Amino acid sequence: METPVIFETHAHYDDEAFAQDRENLLASMQEHGIGYIVNACASIESLKDTEELMEQYPFVYGAFGIHPDDAEKMTEETLEEIRQLSRLPKAVAIGEIGLGYYWHKEEHEHEIQKKMFLAQMEIAREEKLPFMVHSRDAAKDTFDLIVARGKGQRGVIHCYSYSPEMAQEYVKLGYHIGLGGVVTFKNAKKAKETARQIPLERILLETDSPYMAPTPFRGKRNNSAYIDYVAQEIADLKGISKEEVIAVTEENAKKLFAII
C-alpha cells in the first residue's frame, strides 16, 4: 500500500484571500502531506476559476455548483454551465450547494434557495456525481429535502455543525460528514460529539479555506496545511492514531469521488 496522504475535500483557493501567494501556497502542499484538494465553487465566477486551478495543478480536483448565498443570481444558463463543467475528467462533485438562512431570513429567499438546491441535486443525479452540501441555520429544511429528493444519491454534509443525532441519520442515509476547523474549537461540543460518534468510514477531512481556521489559528486565514490539527483532534476524540484518521479518510474520499 502507498503511504497515506491527506485528502482535503473542501477548500476555496480561487478566493481573493489567496491573491498574493496562491501559487507558492499550492506549491508547498505536497511537502505538508496534502495529496489531494477539492476546490469547491461558491460564486458564479468561481466556476471558471475552479476549472483553471484544476487544469493547472495535478492534485486539484473540482466541485462545481453555486452556494445558496448566490442562489438568486442563478439562471438556466448557470445550471447548464455547471452541467458542462461537471463532465470534465477531474470534476468530482456538484457543490457547494444547499441552504443558508443565516444571511437570508425571508421566506421568498428560502424558496429560491430550495429550488436551486434541488436543481443542482438533480444535475448530480443525472451526471452520477456526489454533491457537497452547505447548510447553515437550515437543519430541518436541508434534511427534509435530502430525504425527499436525494434517494439513492451520495454526498457530504460539509462543515457539519448540527446535532450528532442528525449526523447519525445522514450516515444511515449513506451520506458522509465533512469535519474541519470547528472540531478543534474548545466550545464546539456538538462537532466533537459528532466526530466521536459517527464511524470513521463516513468522515471526510476538510478546511473550507480561507475560512474556519482551526485552533491555534482561529480567526486567521486558513489553508490546507492546517488540516493536520483537524486530523489530530479527531484522532484524540476517537482514541486512535492520527495516521489512521488520515489513511481512512483518504480512502473514504477516493471512493466517494471515484478517484483511483
Binding site for Ni ion (CB under 5 A): 208
Q: State in angstroms the smallest separation of the CB of 6 from Ni ion.
A: 17
Nearer residue to Ni ion within complex by CB, 135 or 235: 135
- For residue 141 the three cell numbers come to 429544511
Order of strands across the sheet that contains 203-205: 6-11, 34-40, 60-63, 91-100, 131-136, 155-157, 176-179, 203-205
Q: State in angstroms the smallest separation of the CB of 96 from Ni ion.
A: 5
Length of the chain: 260
Q: State in angstroms the smallest separation of the CB of 246 from Ni ion.
A: 21
Nearer residue to Ni ion within complex by CB, 109 or 208: 208
Asked whether the bond before 68 is cis by omega within 30 degrees of 0, the reply is: no
Nearer residue to Ni ion within complex by CB, 35 or 95: 95
The one-letter amino acid at 222: N
Nearer residue to Ni ion within complex by CB, 70 or 208: 208
Q: State in angstroms the smallest separation of the CB of 217 from Ni ion.
A: 17
239, 163, 234, 243: which is closest to 202 by C-alpha? 234
The one-letter amino acid at 175: Y
Query: Which residue's Cβ lies closest to Ni ion?
Result: 208
Nearer residue to Ni ion within complex by CB, 51 or 208: 208
Q: State in angstroms the smallest separation of the CB of 128 from Ni ion.
A: 23
CB burial of 237-250 (b: ≥16 within 10 Å; e: otherwise) equals bbeeebeebbbbbb
Asked whether the bond before 199 is cis by omega within 30 degrees of 0, the reply is: no
